[in-house]
C-alpha cells in the first residue's frame, strides 16, 4: 500500500517537474495549520515532506502564518516553526488571514510562479488552490502525510502539453523522415547512376576497341578524355596478357608493348600522347 502510494507520488512529481518545471529542492510553503497539527502529533514535518515529495525540500513559512503562531504563545511551536525559512509576503503591518496570505504568495498572475508546494491543513485553501494548475498540495490525513492527486486544472495542462509534445514529435519525425527519404533518394539515385554507368562504358569500350580507330578518328575532338580512358584500359589488358605471357618470352612482350606504344602514339596524335607514353614505359619494368 505504501509502495503503491510512493509510486503514485513519484509519478505525480514527474508531472510537476516536466510540465510545471519544478526543481529540487522543492520550496514547500507550510501554513500555520499544518505546522500546528504536525507539532501536536510530534510528526517530523521535514522528514514527511521529503518522503512524500521524494526529493530534497526547502520548508518555508510566510510572515502572516508565523504571526498566527506567535499569537498562540506556544513557545515550543514557535521555535519549531522558526526553523523554517521565512517567506516575505509583503503583509507585514497588515497581517492577512493565513489562507489569504498563502494564496496571494502562491498564485501570481494566475499561475504558481515560484513553483511552491503548498502544505496546509486548511481545506478551504486546498479547494481554492486546486483551480490553479501546477500546485502540489500536501496535507495531513490523520497521522499520514498525503499529497493530493493532480487537480483537474493541472491535468488539463499536462495532457495538453503531452499532446503538444506528441504532435510536435510526430511533425518532427515526419520532417526527419521526409528529409531522410530525400537523402535516401538522393543517395540512391547517384548510386544507381554510378552502377550502370560504370559497367556500361566498359562494355562499350570493349566494343569500341574493335571499332576504336574509326570511333576515335571520328570523335577525336569530341571526347579526348574517353580516348585516354580507353587507352589506359587497353594498356591494362595488354599488361594482363603480358603478365600471363611472361613465362614465354620477354622479347615478344617488349615488341608487343613497343608496337602498342606506337599504336597509342598514332591514336594520340589526336589526343594527348605525352601522358600515355611514359605510363607505358613505367609499367613495363614493373611487369617484368
Write out the residues near Zn ion by the rule CB under 5 A. 62, 64, 89, 91, 96, 101
| β-bridge mates for residue 146, sequence order | 139
Nearest-approach distance from CB 96 to Zn ion, in angstroms = 5
Nearest-approach distance from CB 131 to Zn ion, in angstroms = 20
- DSSP-H helix ranges across the chain: 2-19, 32-40, 45-53, 63-72, 75-82, 98-106, 123-129, 152-197, 199-210, 212-218, 224-245, 250-268, 273-287
- Our CB check for Zn ion shows the closer of 13 and 105 to be 105
- Our CB check for Zn ion shows the closer of 87 and 230 to be 87
- Our CB check for Zn ion shows the closer of 93 and 285 to be 93
- Our CB check for Zn ion shows the closer of 91 and 161 to be 91
Nearest-approach distance from CB 176 to Zn ion, in angstroms = 51
Q: Which three cell numbers stand for residue 246?
A: 611472361
Best CA proximity match to 63, nearest among 105, 106, 92, 34? 92
134 Cβ contact list (under 8 Å, min separation 6): 16, 19, 20, 111, 112, 115, 154, 157
- Our CB check for Zn ion shows the closer of 99 and 208 to be 99
Nearest-approach distance from CB 92 to Zn ion, in angstroms = 8
Nearest-approach distance from CB 102 to Zn ion, in angstroms = 8
Amino acid at each position: 500500500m505504501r509502495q503503491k502510494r510512493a509510486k503514485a507520488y513519484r509519478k505525480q512529481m514527474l508531472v510537476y517537474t516536466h510540465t510545471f518545471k519544478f526543481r529540487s529542492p522543492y520550496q514547500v510553503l507550510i501554513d500555520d495549520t499544518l505546522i500546528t497539527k504536525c507539532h501536536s502529533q510530534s510528526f517530523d514535518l521535514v522528514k514527511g515532506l521529503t518522503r512524500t515529495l521524494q526529493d530534497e525540500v526547502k520548508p518555508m513559512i510566510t510572515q502572516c502564518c508565523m504571526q498566527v503562531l506567535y499569537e498562540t504563545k506556544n513557545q515550543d511551536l514557535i521555535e519549531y516553526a522558526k526553523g523554517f525559512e521565512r517567506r516575505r509576503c509583503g503583509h507585514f503591518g497588515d497581517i492577512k488571514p493565513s489562507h489569504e496570505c498563502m494564496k496571494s504568495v502562491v498564485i501570481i498572475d494566475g499561475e504558481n510562479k515560484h513553483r511552491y508546494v503548498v502544505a496546509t491543513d486548511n481545506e478551504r485553501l486546498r479547494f481554492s488552490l486546486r483551480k490553479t494548475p501546477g500546485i502540489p498540495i500536501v496535507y495531513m490525513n490523520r497521522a499520514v502525510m498525503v499529497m493530493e492527486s493532480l487537480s483537474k486544472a493541472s491535468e488539463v495542462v499536462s495532457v495538453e502539453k503531452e499532446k503538444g509534445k506528441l504532435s510536435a514529435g510526430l511533425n518532427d519525425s515526419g520532417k526527419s523522415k521526409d528529409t531522410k527519404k530525400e537523402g535516401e533518394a538522393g543517395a540512391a539515385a547517384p548510386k544507381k547512376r554510378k552502377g550502370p554507368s560504370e559497367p556500361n562504358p566498359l562494355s562499350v569500350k570493349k566494343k569500341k576497341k574493335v571499332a576504336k580507330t574509326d570511333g576515335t578518328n571520328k570523335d577525336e575532338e569530341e571526347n579526348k578524355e574517353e580516348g585516354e580512358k580507353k587507352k589506359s584500359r587497353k594498356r591494362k589488358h595488354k599488361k594482363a596478357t603480358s603478365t600471363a605471357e611472361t613465362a614465354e618470352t620477354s622479347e615478344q612482350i617488349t615488341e608487343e608493348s613497343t608496337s602498342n606504344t606506337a599504336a597509342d602514339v598514332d591514336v594520340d596524335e589526336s589526343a594527348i600522347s605525352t601522358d600515355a607514353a611514359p605510363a607505358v614505359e613505367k609499367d613495363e619494368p614493373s611487369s617484368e
